[in-house]
Chains A and B, each alone.
Chain A
Amino acid sequence: MAQERTDEELLAAYQQGDPGSFEDLLRRHRAPLFTFLLRMLGDRERAEDLAQETFLRIVKGAQAWEHRARFQTWLFTIARNLCVDQSRRDRFRRADSLDAQGPGDEPPMVDSVPGREIDPSRGAESALLRPVLQRALLSLPTEQREVFVLREQAGVPFREIAEMVGVNENTVKSRMRYALEGLRKALAAAGVSEETAAEAPDPGVRLGRA
């Protein structure tokens, strides 16, 4: 059964000419990858663009792939690099635009559009809280945000994040600590604590700049 095959087995089967295996891989990783990019960028459209591009690069590179690292590591490394590139461009653009705010990354407000992120099948609380969390996340420096999202959402171990990002594991963990600390402060500034989180805050709450 396809579900029981590992990513690497699926990719090997695709290398042997079975497009169905790639379909399985895509189904398996589509949502995690998209969510990773969405958390990193805070913008659905860009996240979709980059997720598509990531998979297209996988297709392009599939024949040359050798089983030295996990497929997931490869996938997220590509996505992460595209993301770094993208956010750099965004920064440059913002730096010259009239609403430039300085060194901080002013998060895009896309997620605050009501209804866009709300999935009725999920808890109303988390749906309401998520835009606030997303903004808090976007207030973190990219280096911290990527470590946080890779570990927390994508479930990549610290050692592998270190390989992906090109720094040592201690640096990764230190960025993770900063990220958690920064998130905590940003949430506190937005009036979100564990208690209020449970009570579903006003989704219109703007985060104060930390």
Chain B
Amino acid sequence: MTHAESQDLLLDLAYGELDAQRAAEVASHVEGCAECRKEKAALEETRRMAAPLRELEEPSPGFDDRILAAARAQAHLEHEGNVGQVIEVTGSVRPLGLEATRIDAHGPVQSRATRRDRPRWIVRAALGGSVAAAAALALVVSNTLETRRNAEKAKTARSDEYAIRVQTAADSLDGALRDAEVKRDKDRLETMKLEAVPPLPPAALEKEKVAQLSAPAHKPAKKKAGTPGVRIEGGGGDALGKLASRNTQAPARESDADRPAARASTASPSAGATTSGPPAAVVAAPAPAAQAEPRQPKSVAGAPAPSAVEANAQQARHAGNYPLAASLYRNAADLRQRDNDAGGAAWDLAHAVECLSAVGQFDEARRVRDELARLYPSETTALSAARRALREVDPPAAAPVQKNP
């Protein structure tokens, strides 16, 4: 064992990461090497002093409650096929050749294992009519309170409207995660105020939050339908557009970009219009025609919204995909620049620098940092963040932090 090898392995030895033979080799070198001995002793001494940091601490009582509630709700959803209570099934689609069919949500419901981003329930109806007509079904997902109100509404609805009210358990998990996000968003807003960067409009924040909440990083945000996950399978015909436009109303918290099925139908208030409570949603069944439509967020048609790109970048970052995150942040910076949002652009570039530094692409990181300094010299906070990300590899003189420009 050479001295260099031994030096390299002292840490592994101290933390028990070497096999017995290797450990013995290092130990025998250390014994005869004053420098290694000294280093090993210092290392062990620091570890002994730091020992109290290893002691476990417990969070406050009640810490588990919210998590366990969410865990139960999720297990419930995933496996018992119990999406809740069908309180009433109203209406029929007789005009389209369908027999009114009672759908029992407590009966066998199939989960789609492939759609893992969010539990989704497909209620299979025994449909007597044409396959196309099945698309005319609309599901009203609602919480209990809203359901009552809706029941009245639905009774007065036309006979070709088919409404099923279901109480979802997914809301509890989503709610818990949302709370956590809201709390963090508040922090973010606060930060933004301090930075004197104009805060994102509420809608954009909302979109970002939803995207962040419900889309795992490996799936594009557009994949999730955003609604509390109930849909009916079936083909569709012309009836869909008509019905969907009458029945579908997005709950306020869902962003358009995440709700491809509702594109044809954002405007008209209807049975769903009263379901203003957050967990309420109405989902129109997708018809082949609807599926053929591009399922992209609207903004993609022109330029993507910078906030959407930033949300994706953040997801990539959280997932540890820093190179992707960096490139997305740079795209977002271009978009912000186009919108004359210097503050936003500067921060996006700063995030890109951080992401690049995180994976050791320091040259690229420096280039981006220099670009940031050149384009937005007055964005000093973003600039110091970018410099800070590089302070480990840059000599201190090269990375001054401008406190008060």
Interface residues of A (CB under 8 A from B): 14-19, 22-23, 26-27, 30-32, 34-35, 38-39, 44, 47-49, 51-53, 55-57, 59-64, 77-78, 81-82, 85-86, 88-89, 91-93, 95-97, 100, 102-103, 117, 119, 122, 125-127, 129-130, 133-134, 137, 141, 143, 149, 151-153, 157-158, 164-167, 171, 173, 176-177, 180, 183-184, 187, 192-194, 197
| Cβ-based interface call for B274 (8 A) | no
Interface residues of B (CB under 8 A from A): 8, 11-12, 15, 17, 42-43, 45-60, 63-64, 66-68, 70-72, 74-76, 78-80, 113, 116-117, 119, 173, 176-177, 180, 183-184, 187-188, 190-191, 194-195, 216, 317-320, 322, 354, 358-360, 381, 384-385, 388, 391-392, 399, 401, 403
| Contact between A180 and B43, CB atoms less than 8 A apart | yes
Which of the residues A102, A143, A184 comes within 8 Å of B42, measured between beta carbons? A184
Least CB distance, A15 to chain B, in whole angstroms? 8
| Contact between B63 and A48, CB atoms less than 8 A apart | yes
Cα–Cα, bound, A96→B190 (Å): 12
Closest 7 CB pairs of A and B: A17-B79, A126-B52, A64-B116, A22-B71, A31-B56, A53-B180, A19-B75
| Contact between A157 and B17, CB atoms less than 8 A apart | yes
* Chain A residue nearest to B58 in the complex (CB): A31
Given contacts A22-B71, A23-B71, A137-B53, 12 further A-B contacts (CB under 8 A): A17-B78, A19-B75, A26-B71, A30-B58, A39-B53, A44-B59, A56-B177, A59-B74, A60-B177, A126-B51, A130-B52, A194-B49
In the complex with contacts A14-B71, A53-B180, A89-B188, A151-B216 CB distance below 8 A: no
* Chain A residue nearest to B187 in the complex (CB): A89
Among A16, A49, A60: residue with most chain B CB under 10 A: A60
Which of the residues A32, A51, A55, A183 comes within 8 Å of B50, measured between beta carbons? A183
Contacts of B354 in A (CB 8 A): 88
Least CB distance, A56 to chain B, in whole angstroms? 5
Which of the residues B180, B318, B360, B381 comes within 8 Å of A167, measured between beta carbons? B360
Contacts of B385 in A (CB 8 A): 88, 91-92, 95
* Chain B residue nearest to A34 in the complex (CB): B59
Least CB distance, B214 to chain A, in whole angstroms? 8
| Contact between B63 and A197, CB atoms less than 8 A apart | no
| Contact between A95 and B71, CB atoms less than 8 A apart | no
Among A16, A19, A78, A183: residue with most chain B CB under 10 A: A19
In the complex with contacts A26-B67, A48-B63, A53-B180, A81-B320 CB distance below 8 A: yes
| Contact between A61 and B64, CB atoms less than 8 A apart | no
Cα–Cα, bound, A127→B78 (Å): 44
Contacts of A183 in B (CB 8 A): 46, 49-50
Which of the residues A52, A61, A157 comes within 8 Å of B63, measured between beta carbons? A52
| Contact between A117 and B11, CB atoms less than 8 A apart | no
Contacts of B113 in A (CB 8 A): 63
Contacts of B187 in A (CB 8 A): 86, 89
Least CB distance, A120 to chain B, in whole angstroms? 13
| Contact between B173 and A59, CB atoms less than 8 A apart | yes
* Chain B residue nearest to A125 in the complex (CB): B52
Contacts of A117 in B (CB 8 A): 57
Cα–Cα, bound, A54→B383 (Å): 30
| Contact between A56 and B66, CB atoms less than 8 A apart | yes
| Contact between A103 and B388, CB atoms less than 8 A apart | yes
Cα–Cα, bound, A152→B17 (Å): 13
Which of the residues B48, B55, B71, B401 comes within 8 Å of A102, measured between beta carbons? B401
Cα–Cα, bound, A17→B8 (Å): 46
Cα–Cα, bound, A149→B51 (Å): 11
A–B pairs, 30, beta carbons within 8 Å: A14-B71, A19-B68, A19-B72, A22-B71, A49-B180, A52-B67, A52-B180, A53-B184, A56-B67, A56-B173, A59-B71, A60-B70, A64-B116, A64-B216, A92-B194, A92-B385, A103-B391, A126-B52, A126-B55, A133-B50, A134-B53, A149-B53, A151-B15, A158-B12, A164-B320, A166-B358, A166-B359, A167-B358, A173-B8, A180-B46
| Contact between A62 and B74, CB atoms less than 8 A apart | yes
Cα–Cα, bound, A187→B190 (Å): 34
| Contact between A122 and B71, CB atoms less than 8 A apart | no
| Contact between A92 and B58, CB atoms less than 8 A apart | no
| Contact between B78 and A23, CB atoms less than 8 A apart | no
| Contact between A158 and B191, CB atoms less than 8 A apart | no
* Chain A residue nearest to B318 in the complex (CB): A81
Contacts of A134 in B (CB 8 A): 53
Least CB distance, B229 to chain A, in whole angstroms? 12
| Contact between A81 and B317, CB atoms less than 8 A apart | yes
Contacts of B177 in A (CB 8 A): 53, 56-57, 60
